[in-house]
């Protein structure tokens, strides 16, 4: 892929996904105060879907854009986790001061916190497959492996961790996490 | 009788003595044959059944005017007993509230301040006191208090509970610990399974009265009704409040923010699970009727806390708004209630359960119990209730809701948050029952807030309140 300038290959996909997130979060907040029921439902449902997609699945889009604009693997990693990390920072900010510093740090392992960038990495791992297949077809470059070491290991690691976290509807991980919390802090 | 008396006078001294002995011997038999069996039961003290559900908010039943949930058995209890329209919990969270029901104390006193702070087995439960006075006791169902496994609770003849998923249990195939023995319950639906155990306990032949503490997992999250009730409300208009989130993606510092979780699907499941609890309550009442002990049994039904379903854009509980802190509380006991069907407006609390039961049975109420007996209110509609009470909530990891203290009077509610993490709140419940307008910054509000603040400090002193951050 031809390497485009840093702004176009890295900053643009980040801004795009994060912009959708910021817009949809605010729209969702505003929709609650709209008295017209139909408009409220359209806005809240629409913005909720975009909020979910941008936070949890945004890496599909961000990675695809960054890939075809020539971003390196490390740059694509950054592009994919940027929005989830900002989102998690927002959530964590709301918890600051409620618990001890140790408890606050332990909060990072909560599946809604650590799970968010992990799902983004899984999305990246999946999108890498189609990006590489398309790129091979477009460029005819057969040296570009669909399952290279970097993206395959990323896919396997993220898939395994996300699968384990979601096992039993997420209950197993949650209770393991809370057991660890009890042992460490109480 | 005249014939017997006439002949008795004709008897000689020996005959008189013999006939007197015969009379003395057969008279108890005559009494046993002609006096109603229930009278003996009354002399022994009433049986007690306390049914506790999880997250069942006060208005999720037809007798409180819910738009579509049908709860004929709860309605029957209310029609034949007293429905307390202003029943509250001192902390809107499972474990603290459960410990308060058992001990009659505030969480800062019994020590179970959050779902993580362990149960202290030095606490005395009303079950223990009833056992000491001769009751046969059973705790069946959700214990859900932190600690290693189940405690060796004093005063229990039977203890059937579960520790699965941190003590929350699961709706299907939930393994039970039956008097210390872990038992698989493959394919069993938990509300039905626990009711089966309750029925077995009730129908057991005994010479003493019994006290059954039946504590359901329902209607907690998971919201799974049994198959025959699934979908009974699928076509109804849910009538969620206008400010409700369609998706539980909260904007109020909730950890689930950004996750897809349709509110309407959860709410339908909740309502259908309430219907299941009501159905099982019906089985219980029927059994008492069949055994002819219904009217000699004190039945109390309550929830451990309320639940938001979109009000204030919220889901779950913990906060001090009405939807979270109000619970259903119904008492049926014809032995005391002479005006069945009454709606009691007095403010009552979960900590009132223990002293009420002890009072009904005629036991002394220990001085460390902080609740008050409801017996006077059960006997008379004119009995005074409390004027104000203290609400407390301690921060619970990992939920980003700060510690809360609040005071609720008959008309107002004043709320303070830990570290002023959120603005203080004052609501006039008479003009604003949905608590949508915080009047703390109005001139009237400022004056009332000052008064309530003083009152809250008094209540804190009175109850020995201390803020706890851990947990």
CA nearest to A16, candidates A77, A73, A74, A58: A58
Number of Cβ pairs < 8 A linking chain A and chain B: 86
Q: What is the pLDDT of residue B41?
A: 41
For residues B329-336, average pLDDT: 98
pTM: 0.86
Q: What is the pLDDT of residue B247?
A: 66
Cis peptide before B335, with omega less than 30 degrees from 0? no
CA nearest to B334, candidates B360, B307, B372, B363: B360
Choose the CATH number for B387-471 among 1.10.8.60, 3.20.80.10, 3.30.1120.10, 3.30.1300.10.
3.30.1120.10
B105-124 pLDDT, tens digit each: 999 999 999 988 889 999 99
Domain ranges of chain A: 6-185
Three-state SS for chain B is CHHHHHHHHHCCHHHHHHHHHHHHHHHHHHHHHHCCHHHHHHHHCCEEEEEEECCCCCCCCHHHCCCCCCCHHHHHHHHHCEEEEEEECCCCCHHHHHHHHHHCCCHHHHCCCCCCCCCCCCCCCHHHHHHHCCCEEEEEECCCCCCCCCCCCCCCCEEEECCCCCCCCCCECCCEEECCEEECCCCCEHHHHHHHHHHHHHHCCCCCCEEEEEECCCCCCCCCCCHHHCCCCCCCCCCCCCCCCCECCCCCCCCCCCCCCEHHHHHHHHHHHHHHHHHHHHHHHHHHHHCCCHHHEEEEEEECCCCEECHHHCEECCCCCHHHHECCEEEECCCCCCCCCEEEEEEEEHHHHHHHHHHHHCCCCCCCCCCCCCHHHHHCCCCCCCCEEEEEECCCCCCCCCCEEEEEECCEEEEEEHHHCCCCEEEECCCCCCCCCCCCCCHHHHHHHHHHHHHHHHHHHHHCCCCCCCC
Question: Distance between CA A88 and CA B412 in Å, rounded?
Answer: 37
Given a cut of 50, the residues of chain A with pLDDT beneath it are none
Interface contact flag, A37 B242, Cβ < 8 Å = yes
Top CATH class, B46-381? alpha beta
Question: Distance between CA B246 and CA B261 in Å, rounded?
Answer: 9
For residues B285-306, average pLDDT: 98
B159-170 pLDDT, tens digit each: 999 999 889 999
CA angle B213, B218, B221 (to 5 degrees): 140
Give the up-direction half-sphere exposure of residue A60: CA atoms within 13 A in the CB hemisphere: 8
φ, ψ of residue A60 to 5 degrees: the values are: -55, -45
Chain A interface with B: residues with Cβ < 8 Å: 25, 28-29, 32-33, 35, 37, 40-41, 44-45, 48-49, 51-52, 55-56, 87, 91, 94-95, 97-100, 103, 106-107, 110, 112-113, 116, 171, 175, 178-179, 181-182, 185-186
Residues in chain B: 471
Interface test with A, best of B258, B402, B436 (most A CBs within 10 A): B258
End-to-end Cα spacing for chain A: 54
For residues B175-199, average pLDDT: 97
pLDDT surpasses 90 at B310: no
Q: What is the pLDDT of residue A35?
A: 81
From chain A, the residues in CB contact with B166 under 8 A are: 175, 178-179
b/e code A103-116 from CB counts within 10 Å (16+ = b): bbebbeebbbbbbb
Interface test with A, best of B147, B398, B420, B421 (most A CBs within 10 A): B398
Domain ranges of chain B: 46-381, 387-471
Q: What is the pLDDT of residue B39?
A: 43
pLDDT surpasses 70 at B257: no
Taking CA–CA distances from A83, the nearest residue in chain B reads B258
CA nearest to B307, candidates B90, B141, B96, B92: B92
Q: What is the pLDDT of residue B243?
A: 79
For residues B442-452, average pLDDT: 98
Q: Is B246 on the interface with A (CB under 8 A)?
A: yes
Least confident range from B148-157, B298-307, B404-413, B434-443: namely: B148-157
Question: Distance between CA A140 and CA B124 in Å, rounded?
Answer: 78
Q: What is the pLDDT of residue A37?
A: 80
Taking CA–CA distances from B247, the nearest residue in chain A reads A48
Cβ–Cβ < 8 Å for B304, B52: yes
pLDDT surpasses 80 at B330: yes
Q: What's the pLDDT band for B42 if we cut at 50, 70, 90? A: very low
Q: What's the pLDDT band for B198 if we cut at 50, 70, 90? A: very high
pLDDT surpasses 80 at B195: yes
CA nearest to B206, candidates B358, B28, B357, B40: B40
Question: Distance between CA B146 and CA B136 in Å, rounded?
Answer: 26
Q: What is the pLDDT of residue A1?
A: 72
Taking the C-alpha atoms of B440, B443, B449 and B454 in order, what is their torsion angle to the nearest 10 degrees? 160
Residue B66 or residue B395, greater confidence: B66
CA separation, residue A176 to residues B140, B165, B172 (Å): 26, 9, 21
Q: Is B398 on the interface with A (CB under 8 A)?
A: yes
Question: Distance between CA B259 and CA A116 in Å, rounded?
Answer: 10
Complex ipTM: 0.75
Q: What is the pLDDT of residue B1?
A: 47
Q: What is the pLDDT of residue A91?
A: 85
**What percentage of chain B exceeds 90 in pLDDT?**
77
């Amino acid at each position: 892929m031809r390497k485009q300038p840093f702004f176009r290959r890295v900053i643009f996909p980040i801004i795009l996904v994060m912009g959708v997130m910021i817009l949809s979060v605010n729209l969702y907040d505003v929709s609650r105060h709209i008295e017209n029921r139909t408009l409220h439902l359209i806005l809240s449902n629409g913005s909720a879907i975009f909020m979910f997609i941008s936070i949890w699945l945004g890496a599909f889009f961000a990675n695809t854009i960054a890939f075809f604009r020539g971003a390196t693997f490390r740059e694509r990693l950054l592009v994919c986790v940027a929005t989830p990390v900002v989102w998690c920072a927002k959530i964590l900010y709301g918890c600051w001061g409620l618990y001890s510093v140790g408890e606050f740090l332990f909060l990072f392992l909560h599946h809604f916190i650590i799970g968010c960038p992990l799902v983004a990495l899984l999305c990246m791992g999946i999108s890498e497959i189609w990006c590489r297949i398309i790129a091979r077809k477009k460029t005819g470059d057969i040296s570009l492996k669909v399952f290279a070491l970097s993206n395959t290991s990323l896919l396997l690691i993220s898939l395994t961790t996300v699968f384990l976290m979601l096992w039993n509807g997420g209950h197993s991980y949650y209770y393991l996490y809370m057991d660890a919390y009890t042992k460490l802090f109480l | 009788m005249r014939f017997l008396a006439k002949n008795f006078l004709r008897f000689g001294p020996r005959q008189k003595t013999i006939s007197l002995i015969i009379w003395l011997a057969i008279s108890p038999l005559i009494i046993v044959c002609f006096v109603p069996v229930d009278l003996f039961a009354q002399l022994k003290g009433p049986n007690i059944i306390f049914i506790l559900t999880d997250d069942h908010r006060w208005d999720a039943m037809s007798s409180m005017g819910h738009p579509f949930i049908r709860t004929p058995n709860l309605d029957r209890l209310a029609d034949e007993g007293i429905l307390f329209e202003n029943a509250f919990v001192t902390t809107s969270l499972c474990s603290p509230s459960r410990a308060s029901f058992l001990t009659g104390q505030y969480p800062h006193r019994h020590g179970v301040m959050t779902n993580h702070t362990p149960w202290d087995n030095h606490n005395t439960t009303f079950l223990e006191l009833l056992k000491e006075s001769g009751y046969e006791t059973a705790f069946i169902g959700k214990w859900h208090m932190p600690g290693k496994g189940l405690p060796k609770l004093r005063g229990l003849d039977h203890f059937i509970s579960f520790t699965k998923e941190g003590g929350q249990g699961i709706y299907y195939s939930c393994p039970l610990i039956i008097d210390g023995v872990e038992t698989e319950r493959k394919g069993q639906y938990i509300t039905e399974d626990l009711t089966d155990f309750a029925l077995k306990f009730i129908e057991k032949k005994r010479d003493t009265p019994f006290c059954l503490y039946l504590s359901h997992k329902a209607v907690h999250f998971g919201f799974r009704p049994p198959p025959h009730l699934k979908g009974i409300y699928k076509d109804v208009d849910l009538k969620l409040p206008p400010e409700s989130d369609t998706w539980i993606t909260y904007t109020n510092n909730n950890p689930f923010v950004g996750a897809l979780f349709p509110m309407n699907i959860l709410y339908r499941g909740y309502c259908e699970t309430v219907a299941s609890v009501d159905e099982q309550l019906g089985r219980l009442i029927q059994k008492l009727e069949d055994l002819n002990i219904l009217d000699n049994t004190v039945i109390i039904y309550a929830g451990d806390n309320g639940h938001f379903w979109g009000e204030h854009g919220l889901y779950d509980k913990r906060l001090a708004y009405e939807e979270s802190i109000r619970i259903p509380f119904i008492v049926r006991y014809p032995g005391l209630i002479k005006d069945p069907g009454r709606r009691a407006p007095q403010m009552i609390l979960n900590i009132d359960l223990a002293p009420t039961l002890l009072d009904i049975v005629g036991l002394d109420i220990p001085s460390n119990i902080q609740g008050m007996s409801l017996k006077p209110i059960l006997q008379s509609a004119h009995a005074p209730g409390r004027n104000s009470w203290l609400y407390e909530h301690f921060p619970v990891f990992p939920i980003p809701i700060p510690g809360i203290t609040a005071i609720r009077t008959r008309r107002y509610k004043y709320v303070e948050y830990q570290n002023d993490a959120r603005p203080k709140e004052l609501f006039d419940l008479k003009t604003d029952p949905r608590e949508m307008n915080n009047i703390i910054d109005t001139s009237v509000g400022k004056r009332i807030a000052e008064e309530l603040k003083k009152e809250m400090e008094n209540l804190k002193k009175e109850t020995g309140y201390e803020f706890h951050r851990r947990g």
